[in-house]
Amino acid sequence: MTDIKIHEVGLRDGLQIEKQAVPLEKKIAWVESLLVSGMEMIQLGSFVNPEKVPQMADTDTLFNHFSQPGKKQSAAILSGLVLNERGLERGMACGVDMFCMGVSASDTHSRKNTGKGTDEALGGILTMAQSAIKAGKRIQASIQSAFGCGFEGPIPQERVMSIVDKYLSAGIRNISLADTAGHAFPPQVESLYTNILKRDSKVELACHFHNTYGLGLANCYAAFKSGVLYFETALGGLGGCPFTKVAAGNVCSEDLVHSFQRQGLAMAIDLEKLIEISRDLSRFFNRELPGFILKAGSIVKFNPVQ
């Protein structure tokens, strides 16, 4: 239980859907604050076509900045999302600590997101994963739309497990299930993760839930009960996939940290610092963000763990 890790994806999944451009200097300031907060995993961006996702145009520069001596005064793992070999090459050149890559269990979502069907995209992901592993890099492979798709509806569990099996056969032991469309519900979450652990009890499991239908935090708890140790969340509850049918924000980082800290977990993270960063995000975008703790404040300090 002490090994729980919050993987902050706000700078990637949180910003990719925003129309208001964020200056590089502002992103650097947010990352510096996250490093001070004790966040152990931070996703700086994605190596995608800047014409399709303009907000990610400075990802290489951001990684290069924090690769310089003295710039990353923390042991935090800096991750980056890659979709193809070109993205992997870019990430290798600018100091990515962990490569996140994946394929959608929904063929329709896969084509909208990558221009390729699931099977074709999976072949490329497996090749990239093996290249990164050979280069000594840490990787995480995800399955997007693992719990349902806004275009196709329910996704058969067997389809998700067939992708899991291919990951395991390729030597991939860090697997994330992503609820891209926000369709997941707790019993389904427990069932999927339990089945993965039956395949390989030593696999490192991650989750990425969207709060489209209000079940994000409940799904995180179901994942935690099922043995998941890595939780991908975004400051303020920002974000949403621009290539899904109904885009909605991620589980809010402060909300999940707050709920875990009520149980004495994730105590190394400075919750007040996270709230401070989210307030700055709210000021920058000039709107109220979805997160609850941002509005209500923390009660952890008034309810110490017994």
Catalytic center residues: 241
- According to DSSP, residue 149 is labeled B
Q: Which residues pair with 244 in a beta bridge?
A: none
Helix (H/G/I), strand (E/B), else coil: 117: coil
Give the long-range contacts of residues 260-269, CB within 8 A, separation 24 or more.
260/4, 261/300, 261/305, 262/299, 262/300, 262/303, 262/305, 263/305, 264/305, 265/1, 265/2, 265/4, 266/4, 266/6, 268/38, 268/40, 269/6, 269/37, 269/38, 269/39
* 8 A C-beta contact, residue 66 and residue 78: yes
Measured in whole angstroms, the distance separating CA 73 from the mean position of its chain's CA atoms is: 22
